[in-house]
């Protein structure tokens, strides 16, 4: 039996559960006997630098619960210009890979889709704390981020209450409000601002004032980094664009806190959770989902099914064409947003 070499890479922002996927791929491959697993380091950049590392069963010990990625990651776009594309393809032929498992979000899987179109065998695994990937009901990492943000909101409640303050908590999520909505519901936020549904500053201030009038002299506002006020723009922490053309979001919390304090006269503070939401150990849910994805991706390879991403539909792991995934984000469920709104104020 000839040995087939499989490349594994993790691309984009890191995310709790990446190591669980890598472990599942390597462990499942052992069941099939004729695979050699090769880690491609720092996402697609590993194909430009020829930076790879053999992945053995021994290396998988003790990584299930570890955050980050043992392979490293980057936001590298192999298709950013002809020279980059040529260099990557030269490495691909040198490595003699039978297939690649690309673990990533919209950008990493966008490259995977293009490589598929160019005749390479690729299987995608959906990763992002933002939960905004099309083609799947859930990405791993999201549950952990929500857990962290919810704990933060719980903690902000007690200090807000002690000081009669408004506390604004800015969470990640890029152009979608999944983290803000889930954490906002779980953490009992008095208003949740998401990119999908811009709201007026006056409406937020009214909610806060009404609470004060009822004798509840503190409020918790959960705001997604990509949220904007009605008629306003997204707030950027940097205009510099990455290789996929993304600017860096951040700062809406600060803007909002200032305006709330000005309009209501109530003492207001802001907390930006930032990369704390991406770091550290994955929840049990994310470990299980990541493990199921890893096993399913290796099963797809063994069954010669390529150009697909493993995905969650209901409670089942399925495969969807990579073509369905690339381009555009999955916005929040309008029904969920309506549920969240019931508890505002
Ligand atoms: O996509 C994941 C994410 O954490 C977003 O929520 C956030 O906007 C972005 O990555 C931050 O990117 P970086 O790690 O480059 O600061």
Average pLDDT, the chain: 97
Residue 2 is predicted with a pLDDT of 87
Query: For residue 236, is it within any domain?
Result: yes
3-state DSSP of 201-261: HHHHHHHHHHHHHCCCCCEEEEEECCCCECCCCCCEEECCCCCCCCCEECCHHHHHHHHHH
Whole domain around residue 227: which residue ranges? Answer: 144-279
Q: Are 27 and 60 in contact (CB under 8 A)?
A: yes
Q: Is residue 152 part of a domain?
A: yes
Question: Is 124 in the same domain as 151?
Answer: no
User: Quick one: 103 and 187 in the same domain?
Assistant: no
Residue 300 CA to ligand 1 center (angstroms) comes to 29
Residue 1 has pLDDT above 80, yes or no: no
Same domain? For 167 and 274 the reply is: yes
pLDDT beyond 80 at 168: yes
| 12 and 82 share one domain | yes
Q: Is position 340 within any domain? A: no
Neighbour-count burial of 146, counting CB atoms closer than 10 A to its CB (0-12 exposed, 13-18 middle, 19+ buried): buried
Give, to the nearest 10 degrees, the angle between helix 142-163 and helix 284-302.
160
Residues 56 and 105 in one domain: yes
Structure tokens at 83: 């020279």
Residues assigned a catalytic role = 130
0.95 exceeded by pTM? yes
230 and 198, same domain (yes or no) = yes
C-beta separation of 47 from 92 below 8 A: yes
| Short-list 280, 267, 235, CA closest to 254 | 235
- Whether the CB of 128 sits within 6 Å of ligand 1: yes
Judgement on whether residues 291 and 210 belong to the same structural domain of the protein: no
pLDDT of residue 239: 85
DSSP 283: P
Decide: 278 in ligand 1 pocket, CB within 6 A: yes
Pocket-testing residue among 13, 109, 239, ligand 1, by greatest number of atoms within 8 A of Cβ: 13
Q: What separation, in Å, do the N-terminal and C-terminal C-alpha atoms of the chain show? A: 65
- pLDDT attached to residue 176: 97
Task: Report how many domains make up the chain.
Answer: 2
pLDDT digits (tens, 9 = 90+) for 232-281: 889 999 989 999 999 999 999 999 999 999 999 999 999 999 999 999 99
Q: How far apart are CA 328 and CA 223, in angstroms?
A: 22
Pick the more confident residue, 2 or 197: 197
Q: What would the pLDDT profile of 40-70 be if each residue is shown by its tens digit?
A: 999 999 999 999 999 999 999 999 999 999 9
- Do 96 and 8 fall within a single domain? yes
Question: Does residue 215 carry a pLDDT above 90?
Answer: yes
């Amino acid at each position: 039996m000839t040995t087939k070499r499989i490349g594994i890479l993790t691309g984009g922002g890191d995310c709790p559960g990446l190591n669980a996927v890598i472990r599942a791929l390597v462990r499942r491959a052992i069941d099939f006997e004729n695979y050699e697993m090769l880690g491609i380091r720092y996402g697609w950049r590993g194909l430009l630098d020829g930076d790879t590392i053999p992945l053995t069963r021994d290396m998988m010990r003790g990584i299930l619960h570890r955050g980050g990625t043992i392979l490293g990651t980057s936001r590298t776009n192999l298709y950013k210009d002809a020279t980059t594309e040529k260099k990557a393809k030269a490495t691909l032929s040198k490595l003699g890979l039978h297939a690649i498992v690309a673990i990533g979000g919209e950008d990493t899987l966008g490259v995977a889709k293009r490589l598929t179109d160019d005749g390479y065998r690729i299987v995608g695994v959906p990763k992002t704390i933002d939960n905004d990937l099309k083609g799947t009901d859930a990405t791993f990492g999201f549950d952990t981020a929500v857990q962290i943000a919810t704990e933060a909101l719980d903690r902000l409640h007690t200090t807000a209450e002690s000081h009669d303050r408004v506390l604004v908590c800015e969470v990640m999520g890029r152009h979608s409000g999944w983290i803000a909505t889930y954490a906002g519901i779980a953490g009992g936020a008095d208003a949740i601002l998401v990119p999908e549904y811009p709201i007026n500053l006056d409406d937020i201030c009214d909610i806060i004032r009404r609470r004060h009038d009822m004798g509840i002299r503190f409020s918790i506002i959960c705001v997604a980094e990509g949220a904007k006020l009605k008629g306003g723009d997204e707030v950027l922490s940097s205009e510099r664009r990455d290789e996929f053309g993304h600017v860096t979001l951040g700062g809406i919390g600060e803007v909002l806190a200032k305006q709330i304090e000005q309009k209501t006269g109530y003492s207001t503070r802001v907390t930006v959770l930032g990369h704390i939401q991406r770091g550290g150990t994955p929840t049990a849910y994310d470990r299980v989902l990541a493990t199921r994805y890893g096993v399913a991706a290796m099963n797809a390879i063994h069954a010669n099914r390529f150009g697909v991403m493993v995905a969650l539909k209901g409670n089942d792991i399925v495969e969807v064409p990579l073509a369905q995934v690339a381009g555009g984000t999955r916005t929040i469920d309008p029904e969920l947003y309506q549920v969240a709104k019931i508890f505002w104020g």
